[in-house]
């Protein structure tokens, strides 16, 4: 391991970045260095610009990967190498603002009805009932289910923050049946090896197949269930600050996106077409 790589890893660890983030940043910087065949210490703004052009025009990488590359380069040059030009010369791609995919409550019921495995039903029902991220639902432990207080403890969610979310009575009954059937020891949803939690990609595949089996036209992921949880709470009249807390959002502006997909918000005003009292003549179409 080079000295620079070791310093980069240590700087990330000191700032309590997740192991996943550390691996991603190291991989991004390594690819950047290999592209030029030089240490990043010998490269500057012009090489970074060339590399970004290469990624966009030749490799045609996804926007999410490009953003990850930029974040890694900014950290390397701003923090580890302390170059004062870093922020000014490392362009950050603008993200298109897309509304989240949301299922109606009827579609969520169809999704659950299409799941034949009790174990898979318990996993996806937990994700929806508590509004959990994929990694949060797979990392749940038996001890995180507090039936006396009717809450679920989410350990070290995004941003390394613990939080509590509601434990719905219906979900508690499902989880009790799940525990009686499988008797998990540590992890609520263990993987192939009982001492390890179920893999994220396995849960995503279960979710995708359930959506197909239910005949849903929308793409269904665990994130879709999380978006649906937040939107359904908003439509039922829950305060957006409460939803922010349940989702673990740092800023309420992140939560406000659900006001744009809530049917209660969209249908709050009547279209001006109705005030025209216009009637389509028979046979016009």
Domain range annotation of the chain: 3-89, 105-266
Tell me, yes or no, if the two domains 3-89 and 105-266 fold the same way: no
Indicate the class that CATH gives domain 105-266: mainly alpha
Show the DSSP H helices in 131-221 as ranges.
Answer: 134-138, 169-182, 200-213
pLDDT in tens, 123-133: 999 999 999 99
152 touches 164 (CB < 8 A) = yes
Give pLDDT < 50 ranges for the chain.
Answer: none
Candidates 271, 210, 180; CA nearest to 219 is 210
- Nearest alpha carbon to residue 73 among 3, 6, 111, 24: 24
Q: State residue 159's pLDDT score.
A: 61
Separation CA 16–CA 14 (nearest Å): 5
The predicted structure's pLDDT at residue 266: 67
Give the three-state DSSP class for 164.
strand
Does the structural domain 3-89 have CATH classification 3.10.20.30?
no
145-146 and 161-166: which strand pairing?
unpaired
Q: Is the pTM of this model over 0.85?
A: no
């Amino acid at each position: 391991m080079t000295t620079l790589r070791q310093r980069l890893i240590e700087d990330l660890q000191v700032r309590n970045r997740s192991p996943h983030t550390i691996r991603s940043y190291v991989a991004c910087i390594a690819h950047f260095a290999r592209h030029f065949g030089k240490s990043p210490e010998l490269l500057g703004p012009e090489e970074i610009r060339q590399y970004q052009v290469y990624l966009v025009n030749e490799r045609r990488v996804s926007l999410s990967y490009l953003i990850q590359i930029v974040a890694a380069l900014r950290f390397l040059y701003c923090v580890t190498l302390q170059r004062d030009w870093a922020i000014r010369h490392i362009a950050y791609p603008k993200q298109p603002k897309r509304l989240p995919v949301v299922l109606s409550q009827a579609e969520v019921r169809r999704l659950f009805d299409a799941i034949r495995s009790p174990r898979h039903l318990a996993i996806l029902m937990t994700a929806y009932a508590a509004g959990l991220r994929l990694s949060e639902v797979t990392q749940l432990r038996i001890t995180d289910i507090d039936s006396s207080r009717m809450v679920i403890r989410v350990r070290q969610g995004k941003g390394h923050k613990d939080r509590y979310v509601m434990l719905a009575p219906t979900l508690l009954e499902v989880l009790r049946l799940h525990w009686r059937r499988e008797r998990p020891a540590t992890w609520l949803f263990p993987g192939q090896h009982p001492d390890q939690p179920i893999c994220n990609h396995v849960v995503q595949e279960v979710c995708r197949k359930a959506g197909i089996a239910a005949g849903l036209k929308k793409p269904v992921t665990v994130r879709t269930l999380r978006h649906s949880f937040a939107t359904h709470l908003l439509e039922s009249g829950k305060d957006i600050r409460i939803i922010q807390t349940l989702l673990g959002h740092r800023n309420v502006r992140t939560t406000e996106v659900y006001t744009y997909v809530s049917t209660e918000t969209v249908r709050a005003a009547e279209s001006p077409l109705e005030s025209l009292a216009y009637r389509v003549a028979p046979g016009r179409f």
